[in-house]
Structure 1
């Protein structure tokens, strides 16, 4: 499965965010269990709290053409976490309200269509001519964005089809990252001409 987005309560402390390993564990645990029905199960997220449990609710959302909840949205699954053992009905009610809102706005159908197109997107999608690849991570913005760090990058296409070329690209990214975030002399903007491509690192 692929994580579409993650949200949490605004009041949750910085130290309480879910780590990538906990999210991966949660997705793997529920990958085969959320079909047409609903799942309610205890789950331990060790990086968050190794001594306690959450209760995870999972259900497949239904788009406009699948009102019975049979998974017509291409396998879009909502996962909610609660500390309340008896919180199933509250979570189910939250899912229904969210589903109704997404359906009314037409977003469920758009999300399902995007998932059917396959994973990832092309480097050409931003509309920049000759752009071969990029990495983007927001460093500033709303507090909740900073506390749920994420990055985006397109699929690796030619000329980065081979493992050798991919490793060469990652080495270039590593070099730029080291220069931009150097402890001695950090940079806001770096323009680098390599043997086969020109790279730009920009901290804005």
Structure 2
């Protein structure tokens, strides 16, 4: 694969060339009808939490004490609907009240964190999509215990950048290991499977899909949340009906799930309700291949060793990579970077998120000491959400670069047609030095792209 150097700010970046591994000849394609998702039956009970069942659930506070307030919110929604309109949000002082109405279900978010309307509404969309993933939960949406479990899931969503980036992250692996995992998943081709995912927690190891079938990153996030939230999936192989809202909100598939170890699991999605034993046989063949090729061993090693740390960003890229062109160490300022410059701690880089626009994938660094506390991490993600919304604001943007400084962080954002970079620095960081470090980070990620991204494997025809 031909490598290119990271562009210097403000010049646009060149697109990274995907690595095209040798693909096996596609087996005979399953009949089209067998690969179509099953539509939801029109007589299935509709979810009720608003008009009829009137059950109220809240993440904070007591539902019974908030009954009067909930009735007021419902009255506001009904009043606006009676005028043939739809309510989106209400501002009350520093508070923003965001509404999402999905039939009889009212989702309301009240926030004073200065998050954007688009960001808060996106969180409500994901929260609505989470129960839709599980057909049994969808059918019995009035069951309080099921929905309380879903409210607990929102805590993990609040600390996952995939919620606002609409991208998924991959487990860093050597290219040979990832190709071995992908080759193992080819064994599902004759089973009529629509998608096959090998994952480690929320990170994708390998992803294959039928021709012209694509899996949205939001669906991957919701599917991983659904699987990781249930202990039953870990103790035995499971076969469950699911609905992927982004793929087809009015139809459902069947998910075969099997955990190989505590973190690594295989998910096979099929439209066939009678495919359990076929998928069980496919899983056995896949397991045999990945064990012989030491994929699981490399996955466990990657969990502890292949992490990106801001301290590891190369100081002089020209000496670290022979494939990097001369301009790789230049930014808006053409001055060379000093070898004794510190990348962490005071006046240094604390964290970054790099999103590949072409691949819909992202990679982020580990949290350093200044932000190891969960509360501090949540505060940083809120800052990222605000910067992301500002960069993509349709009214004033989109913007290409942005530099923000407050008492908590220096936030630097950079968007090109190929990637997006969001970086958090110490509040004492200098703008000129921040730009230099961002150029270094971009070149570093491009040099590592074979390990941190999946190239050309997300769609395999059969």
Do the two structures share a fold, i.e. TM-score over 0.5?
yes
Q: How does 1:11-160 map to 2 (within 5 A)?
A: 11-13=211-213, 16-20=214-218, 22-31=219-228, 32-61=231-260, 73-115=261-303, 117=304, 121-128=308-315, 130=343, 132=349, 133-140=351-358, 146=359, 149-160=360-371
Distance 1:160 1:89, change over 3 A: same
Partner of 1:180: 400
Question: 1:108 Cα shift?
Answer: 0.5
Question: 1:81 Cα shift?
Answer: 0.6
Distance of 2:295 and 2:208 partners within structure 1: 20
SS at match of 2:207: coil
Distance of 1:29 and 1:46 partners within structure 2: 13
Q: Report if the CA contact (8 A) 2:201-2:264 is conserved.
A: no
Distance of 1:74 and 1:39 partners within structure 2: 15
Q: Indicate yes or no: 2:380 matched with 1:166.
A: yes
Q: Is 165-174 or 79-88 further displaced after alignment?
A: 165-174
Distance 1:120 1:50, change over 3 A: same
Distance of 2:399 and 2:263 partners within structure 1: 42
Deviations along 1:98-154, one digit per CA (max 9) or x if unpaired, are 212211111201213444x499653234555726333222234xxxxx3xx110101
Q: Report if the CA contact (8 A) 1:80-1:91 is conserved.
A: yes
SS at match of 1:124: helix
Partner of 1:196: 429
Deviations along 1:3-31, one digit per CA (max 9) or x if unpaired, are 22151325124xx42341x3333223333
Give me the TM-score of the superposition, normalised by structure 1. Answer: 0.65
Extract unaligned runs of 5+ from structure 2. Answer: 1-199, 316-341, 393-397, 403-414, 447-462
Question: 1:36 Cα shift?
Answer: 4.2
Distance of 1:168 and 1:86 partners within structure 2: 44
Deviations along 1:61-82, one digit per CA (max 9) or x if unpaired, are 1xxxxxxxxxxx3331111111
Q: Report if the CA contact (8 A) 2:202-2:221 is conserved.
A: no
Q: Report if the CA contact (8 A) 1:44-1:50 is conserved.
A: yes
Q: Report if the CA contact (8 A) 1:58-1:80 is conserved.
A: yes
Distance of 2:379 and 2:245 partners within structure 1: 36
Give me the TM-score of the superposition, normalised by structure 2. Answer: 0.32
Deviations along 1:177-200, one digit per CA (max 9) or x if unpaired, are 864279xxx86899xx98514132
Distance 1:91 1:126, change over 3 A: farther
- Count of aligned residue pairs for this structure pair: 178
Q: Report if the CA contact (8 A) 1:19-1:48 is conserved.
A: no
Out of 195, 209, 215, the residue aligned to residue 9 of structure 1 is: 209
Between structure 1 and structure 2, the one with the greater Rg is 2
Distance 1:171 1:53, change over 3 A: closer
SS at match of 2:292: helix
Distance 1:37 1:127, change over 3 A: farther
Partner of 2:34: none
Distance of 1:54 and 1:164 partners within structure 2: 34
SS at match of 1:152: strand
- Give the structure with the higher percent helix: 2
The Cα RMSD (Å) is: 4.1
Distance 1:105 1:167, change over 3 A: closer
